[in-house]
Amino acid sequence: MSAASPATDLFARHYVDLQLSGAVGRVAGGLSAAGLVTVDRLTTRSRVLGFAAQVMRVVHHRDSGADGVTAIYNTGRHDERPGFAGLTNGELALHTEGAALQSPPRLMLMVCTQPAPEGGHSLLVDGRTIHAELEQRCPDAMAVLSGPRAGFFGPSAGIFAPVFARHEDGRVAVRYRQNGLVRWSPLAQMHLHSFWTAAKRNQQMLTLEAGQGYLLDNHRWLHGRTAFDGARRCYRALGNPHEPAPSRFPPQKHGRGCGMSVVTAPRASAPQASQTVPALRKRPRLRAKHLQAMGVPRQREAVSEARRTVRRLLLRWGVGPQEAFEAELFAAELLTNAYHHSRAGTPGAEIGLCIAEGGGAVLIEVEDAGGEGRPTARGQTDEDAEHGRGLDLVESLGRWGWRTLPDGHLSTWAYVHPALQRPTR
Ligand SMILES: [Fe+2]
């Protein structure tokens, strides 16, 4: 047996020798403990099927043969077809197998019988690691991605589902795929960058030799593959364990926040400023009676519509007309600022807008993908606010501040309170 990647001994750490007695029990134990087992000496399709049948009830797949095993190779017929990247020689992004199914298969066995001369390395990441990192660094992203309608996993007969689903036993399952068959809610779209960053940071590469493979808990691990040249052949089997066994993963608890408030109203209080990221000014505390978050398309014309939405919301919440007017101005300025100065971010990404109200005070927060420089009010009276990062007006009417989030995003906030003294202009 040889180790897998130069960077890790992932293969060795999870290896079970199938020739030893009790191997099937050790496989079950490895799956329960870590959700991943590596194996070898499965050099033919029939050996792959034989091992699969020992550990799972094999389920058929759209592309599988009559025996339930799918040959994974570059067919030359599936380029550019969403959902068929596995049958090309291109990169296969990290994903859950069967993400569009109500219940994706619990287990996936992938065995390589013919490694590619160049590339074709397996990519694996433990969903528990992503979950822990997001919960520690960005619980707002966690809250959004755990929402029941975070994503629509297509094609057309797909389902709405969260990325992280907590089950009755307290364990968490991950479901993720990023291709043309998935549609994300605007809020989830806003936070995918954080998820993807955590996934890429923690992914491990596995170079399988002929006969080597991995068996993973498909509700816990994401898998993918690098692009390759030349001939490469793998066999895949999907199924569910013969005996009920602990699956998914137990979550880890942490307590720091990083992002804007994105949990929908009502909630008891708005989140506090991060204790780990220095802010130019400290964001005021606000016990939010109402809170609404939304994604705003990164388009100039979307700012006006967002401004009208803010005004409608605040008046409905009973905010005074003067405070509502100032808050809508703030929102427009911060959004315009984000539109002009932030990086484009993930294709299709939106700018996050959060509006919170409590006791007549209003907190507006805008999150963008960050960019060069930092927001600065220049103290100008120039009406061309774009050239002062649009903040002079905000500066003159109330309080504002910003902070850089751990994922590089920029959060700017502005605050309106009836009791605040307005500077004379
Ligand atoms: Fe897959």
Q: Which of 220, 241, 262 is the last residue of a domain?
A: 241
User: Separation of 233 CA from ligand 1 center, angstroms?
Assistant: 14
Please tell me whether residues 394 and 337 are part of one structural domain: yes
In whole angstroms, what is the distance from residue 130 CA to residue 363 CA? Answer: 30
User: Separation of 206 CA from ligand 1 center, angstroms?
Assistant: 15
User: Separation of 322 CA from ligand 1 center, angstroms?
Assistant: 55
Please tell me whether residues 95 and 158 are part of one structural domain: yes
Please tell me whether residues 324 and 385 are part of one structural domain: yes
Contact 108, 223 (CB under 8 A): yes
User: Separation of 92 CA from ligand 1 center, angstroms?
Assistant: 8
pLDDT of residue 203: 93
Lowest mean pLDDT among 148-157, 183-192, 320-329, 381-390: 381-390
User: Separation of 99 CA from ligand 1 center, angstroms?
Assistant: 9
User: Separation of 95 CA from ligand 1 center, angstroms?
Assistant: 6
Q: Which of 182, 214, 241 is the last residue of a domain?
A: 241
In which band, very low, low, confident or very high, does the pLDDT at 396 lie, cut at 50, 70 and 90? low
Mean pLDDT of the region 232-241? 96
Mean pLDDT of the region 398-420? 75
On whether residue 281 sits in a domain, the answer given is: no
Element (H, E) at 122: strand 122-126
User: Separation of 169 CA from ligand 1 center, angstroms?
Assistant: 26
In which band, very low, low, confident or very high, does the pLDDT at 258 lie, cut at 50, 70 and 90? very low
Please tell me whether residues 24 and 168 are part of one structural domain: yes
User: Separation of 97 CA from ligand 1 center, angstroms?
Assistant: 5
Number of domains in the chain: 2
Q: Which of 208, 224, 241 is the last residue of a domain?
A: 241
Q: Is the pLDDT of residue 409 over 80?
A: no
- Number of Cβ within 10 Å of residue 359's Cβ equals 12
Q: Is the pLDDT of residue 271 over 70?
A: no
For residue 160, what are the CA distances in angstroms to 78, 182, 263?
Answer: 26, 10, 18
Please tell me whether residues 360 and 211 are part of one structural domain: no
User: Separation of 7 CA from ligand 1 center, angstroms?
Assistant: 23
- Residue that is written with structure tokens 């297509």 in the block: 154
Please tell me whether residues 100 and 175 are part of one structural domain: yes
Which residue range is the domain that position 367 belongs to? 290-416
pLDDT of residue 373: 67
Please tell me whether residues 338 and 224 are part of one structural domain: no
Mean pLDDT of the region 378-405? 57
In whole angstroms, what is the distance from residue 339 CA to residue 333 CA? Answer: 10
Which letter, b or e, does each residue of 4-34 get, where b requires 16 or more Cβ atoms within 10 Å of its Cβ?
A: bbeeeebbeebbbebeeeebeebbbebbeeb
pLDDT of residue 320: 84
User: Separation of 150 CA from ligand 1 center, angstroms?
Assistant: 21
User: Separation of 218 CA from ligand 1 center, angstroms?
Assistant: 9
Q: For 32-61, how does the pLDDT look when each residue is reduced to its tens digit (9 = 90+)? A: 999 999 999 999 999 999 999 999 999 988
Please tell me whether residues 236 and 312 are part of one structural domain: no
pLDDT of residue 394: 66
Q: What's the half-sphere exposure (Cβ side, CA atoms, 13 Å) at 340?
A: 16
Peptide bond preceding 347: is omega within 30 degrees of 0, i.e. cis?
no
Please tell me whether residues 119 and 195 are part of one structural domain: yes
Q: Is the pLDDT of residue 272 over 50?
A: no
Percent of the chain with pLDDT over 90: 36
Q: For 309-361, how does the pLDDT look when each residue is reduced to its tens digit (9 = 90+)? A: 898 889 988 888 878 888 888 888 888 888 877 776 655 567 888 888 888 88
pLDDT of residue 278: 29
Q: What's the half-sphere exposure (Cβ side, CA atoms, 13 Å) at 197?
A: 17
What are the residues facing 123 on neighbouring strands?
A: 205, 224
Mean pLDDT of the region 116-131? 95
Task: Work out the burial of residue 47: count CB atoms within 10 Å of its CB; fewer than 13 is exposed, 13-18 middle, 19 or more buried.
Answer: middle
